[in-house]
Amino acid sequence: MQHRRALISLAALAVSACTAGGLQSNVDALREPDVFASGGRTPPGAPPGTCWGKSVSPAVVETVTEQILVQPPEVSTDGSVVQPAIYKTETLQRIVKERRETWFEAPCPSVLTEEFIASVQRALQVRKLYRGRISGVMDARTRAAIRRYQAPQGLDSGILALETARQLGLVAVKREQSEDS
């Protein structure tokens, strides 16, 4: 239910932005966070020179309303109710699913050139996930396509993961060093 309300609020924000003429400022507020380079905000133990993205899943909270018996009813010997029961209403909130932060390695900003982003767009276009023009700009349409590609794999983020770039054939896959080399 909480997730549904968030989606409805997000849709209302988009509609109000379009009707108020303030589309750009509201869209900027909704954009994905930046990639963090090592030395900045990164997960503990991140190797130097690496960059990371972070996906945050909010907690899911359930609100439950219960009627609690304060005083039982008074019933006469013939079965008629002399005094009805008294109840109080109590509302509780429970966390159904904890908030979760997921760190993932991402290509560093220096790699995200116009040519690289255009390659990402083409790779996603071939998979029918990107429907815009090949611009070489990491815009909302490109991030949405990245999210559509990554979400079925368990990463609900519009930040390009390094593993995704490898799967798309855009970044070399690291080979394990053999003892002979």
Do residues 124 and 50 share a domain? yes
Look at residue 178 and tell me if it is in a domain. no
Do residues 51 and 117 share a domain? yes
Q: What is the 3-state secondary structure (H, E, C) of the chain?
A: CHHHHHHHHHHHHHHHHHHHCCHHHHHHHHCCCCCEECCCCCCCCCCCCCEEEEEEECCEEEEEEEEEEEECCEECCCCCEEECCEEEEEEEEEEEECCEEEEEEECCCCCCCHHHHHHHHHHHHHCCCCCCCCCCCCCHHHHHHHHHHHHHHCCCCCCCCHHHHHHCCCCCCCCCCCCCC
Look at residue 11 and tell me if it is in a domain. yes
Compute the average pLDDT of residues 83-103.
Answer: 93
The CA R_g of the chain, rounded to the nearest whole Å, is 26
Parent domain of 15: 1-30
Look at residue 139 and tell me if it is in a domain. yes
- pLDDT, tens digit (0-9, with 9 covering 90-100), for 3-30: 445 444 444 444 444 444 444 434 443 4
- pLDDT, tens digit (0-9, with 9 covering 90-100), for 146-172: 999 999 999 989 999 999 999 999 988
Look at residue 172 and tell me if it is in a domain. no
- pTM above the 0.75 mark? no
Do residues 40 and 83 share a domain? no
Give the chain's mean pLDDT: 81
Do residues 116 and 140 share a domain? yes
Look at residue 175 and tell me if it is in a domain. no
Look at residue 179 and tell me if it is in a domain. no
pLDDT of 6 reads 46
Q: How many domains does the chain have?
A: 3
Angle of helix 23-30 versus helix 2-20 axis, rounded to 10? 150
Look at residue 78 and tell me if it is in a domain. yes
